[in-house]
Amino acid sequence: MSWLSSLKSVFSPSQEVKEEEIQQVLQNYVLPNSNNALKDRITQVNVQGQILQITINTFPSEAEDLQKIHDDLADALEKCGINELNMHVIQQKTGHKSEGGCGHHHAEGESCSSQEKAESSAAKSQLPPVVDASAKTPEAPAEVDPNNPPIQKAAPQQRDVPKHPRIKNVILVSSGKGGVGKSTTTVNLALALQQLGLKVGVLDADIYGPSIPTMLGNAGRTPMIEAEQFVPIEAYGMAVLSIGHLTGDNNTPVAWRGPKATGALMQLFNQTLWPDLDVLVIDMPPGTGDIQLTLAQRIPVTGAVIVTTPQNVALMDATKGIELFNRVHIPVMGVVENMSTHICSNCGHEEQIFGTGGGDQLSVQYDIPLLGRLPLNVQIRENADAGKPSVIAGDDAAESYMAIAQKIADALPQAEKDKNRIF
């Protein structure tokens, strides 16, 4: 199967990627300092979301041109919707016309002349290994051949991500592990920020375990499509969208690999008719994986709120989440200690089931605010399951959520007023 057929067979259905234009770029590109077409050198092409992987054959004399080839293609493909190009280079031993060969690709040990065979044998022991020309991340360093270094292109940084035209601030509600009440905290903080007078939306980025539709009482509803964009669903006056609104029911698993999940998240963010919002609150999945890195590189984030319990195991994972945000230059606005204490509904006895001081420990360790503590209260769970969160139900935890939301609102950057305007 040709590389062109391979491209068509794996092509992503994402509206952000333009298949025909990608084909034209790959078919029309001519290698620098030669008349050789790139299409004759391509051996494999793969597309995952907005990431294009390409494998090409090159010759030793073209080593100095690899960086230019990668940069030229990356610039041209970016206009086609490709945000990342991973170029793998396989260096051929012989058979390049410009080097005096016969123009044929020979298997190892074969040649078209005795001289070529001798040169091939001499070069056999010093031929560099296959070079991965994609950018390497600090988490997965690779051994680099000093004579043939890999092509590297810096990953996008937060400072380079453009602002959304209708969203002033994006706040991530995150945790290092599941089961600490992150989604419940998300919906209540969003509703509390709304009651403080802000225009608020909610995006459920927990692709594999979306629970926001249930907690906001709109599970089973499907968003309308207008001009090839989703119309967010209204919940208590907020614009809300979740992958759970697209799967049809609560029993359908989202069994997607990383690139497809991150592609879905970007579609929910970019291809949604969000109204003008002061704050978009994003409910993050647990962990520090693909979705967290995609958000850091492609969505403008104002800050992150870390949800944890006082338990040591939860603190260990929350620490990893804070470290990740520090590395990708996303400010951590503070820590919320959930399930901090439990008061028995029968006798009134107070007990710290998950321990004490966890939130204070993180606050001191990373010099970030402890935004507040939330109780382990049956009313919080019952109201969230019923689609009427604590801030709406007005239960015992409502005041705690309002106090935390006030601290978050006070920390939001204030828009600078244009001095030239008279109104």
Parallel/antiparallel/unpaired status of strands 167-174 and 277-283? parallel
Q: Are residues 346 and 389 in the same domain?
A: yes
Cα distances (angstroms) measured from residue 385 to each of 40, 58, 219, 286: 59, 59, 11, 20
181 is in an annotated binding site: yes
Over the stretch 375-421, which tens digit does the pLDDT of each residue have? 888 889 899 999 999 999 999 899 999 999 999 999 998 765 445 55
Residue 46 lies in a domain: yes
What is the pLDDT confidence band of residue 350, given thresholds at 50, 70 and 90?
confident
176 is in an annotated binding site: yes
Over the stretch 130-166, which tens digit does the pLDDT of each residue have? 444 444 444 445 455 554 545 445 556 787 888 899 9
Q: At which residue do the structure tokens 């400072």 appear?
A: 159
For residue 306, the number of C-alpha atoms closer than 13 Å in the C-beta half-sphere is 35
Q: Tell me what the mean pLDDT of segment 343-360 comes to.
A: 74
Q: Are residues 144 and 251 in the same domain?
A: no
Q: Are residues 186 and 211 in the same domain?
A: yes
Most confident of 112-121, 277-286, 291-300, 306-315: 277-286
Q: Are residues 270 and 363 in the same domain?
A: yes
Euclidean distance between CA atoms 96 and 59, whole angstroms: 7
Confidence (pTM): 0.62
179 is in an annotated binding site: yes
- Residue 25: which domain range? 3-92+125-154
Q: Are residues 233 and 371 in the same domain?
A: yes
Residue 377 lies in a domain: yes
Q: Are residues 209 and 137 in the same domain?
A: no
183 is in an annotated binding site: yes
Tokens (6 digits) for 337: 């200690």
Whether 303 and 158 have beta carbons less than 8 Å apart is answered as: no
What does pLDDT average to over the chain? 78
What ranges make up the beta strands (E) of 22-132?
A: 42-48, 51-58, 84-91, 131-132
What percent of the chain is helix, strand and coil (3-state, nearest 5)? Answer: 35, 20, 45
Q: Are residues 146 and 185 in the same domain?
A: no
Question: Domain of 283: which CATH number?
Answer: 3.40.50.300
Domain count along the chain? 2
Euclidean distance between CA atoms 110 and 260, whole angstroms: 44
Least confident interval from 33-47, 130-144, 223-237, 322-336: 130-144
